[in-house]
Chains A and B, each alone.
Chain A
Amino acid sequence: AQSVTQPDIHITVSEGASLELRCNYSYGATPYLFWYVQSPGQGLQLLLKYFSGDTLVQGIKGFEAEFKRSQSSFNLRKPSVHWSDAAEYFCAVGGTLFGNEKLTFGTGTRLTIIP
């Protein structure tokens, strides 16, 4: 089975401070890992993805994530957050294990930015 755990339900960060959102996954083969962001009432926007190669992945809006196979983690980071980063963030895992493109999502982390 595949699963994703996002241990932080809600995080509050001051504008300009650094951010790290945690994600742990379980997958029976080489995983493909994704971070998506969702604003209230909206669909999901892809921030970044990891398939293979360099374990540090750069994404849009200044986000990056690091894949650590030994820890089964794919944490999302940003050096300096902006008020517009307030949203729900979802980590997801997929791959070729089941012959389809099913993504398994975590329960999400809600990010609040304070001035």
Chain B
Amino acid sequence: DAGVTQSPTHLIKTRGQHVTLRCSPISGHKSVSWYQQVLGQGPQFIFQYYEKEERGRGNFPDRFSARQFPNYSSELNVNALLLGDSALYLCASSRQGWGADTQYFGPGTRLTVL
């Protein structure tokens, strides 16, 4: 079975622009979570979606938004990009989205904001 896939692999944007990142979960997984990993740090939780509903939100500004589609894929949107948004954005999927579930991570999207 294919793992979690993310697109694009790399992205370069300028300040003030908008970006959309995409994630396809493992087949049969209904939950998708997004994490931001700044260079030299551990991943930080941004959002979790389960069955198209937001189940959790981390401490990120409203410029960050996400949604989940009926096929369980997900998009992360970031508006008005800042230099500090440069990071590796990781998507993770799990079957049922509860704490005991294992989250499987994709390879990430590397976003560079100039």
CB-based contact A44/B90 at 8 Å:
yes
- Known interface pairs A90-B43, A98-B56; A103-B103 also in contact (CB < 8 Å): yes
Give Cα A108–Cα B43 distance, bound, in whole angstroms.
10
Within 8 A of B (CB), among A24-45: 32, 36, 41-45
Residues of A close to B33: CB separation below 8 A: 101-103
Give Cα A102–Cα B104 distance, bound, in whole angstroms.
13
A contact face: mostly helix, strand, loop, or mixed:
loop
CB-based contact A104/B45 at 8 Å:
yes
* Sample (24) of A-B pairs whose CB atoms are under 8 Å apart: A43-B4, A43-B90, A43-B105, A43-B108, A44-B90, A44-B92, A46-B102, A46-B103, A46-B104, A51-B100, A90-B43, A94-B99, A100-B55, A101-B31, A101-B33, A101-B94, A101-B97, A101-B98, A101-B103, A102-B45, A102-B56, A103-B45, A105-B43, A107-B40
Within 8 A of A (CB), among B77-114: 90, 92, 94, 97-108, 110
What number of B residues sit within 8 Å (CB to CB) of A?
Answer: 30
Residues of A within 8 A of B (CB): 4, 32, 36, 41-46, 49, 51, 90, 92, 94-108
5 additional A-B pairs beyond A101-B33, A105-B43, beta carbons within 8 Å, are: A43-B107, A46-B104, A51-B100, A107-B40, A107-B41
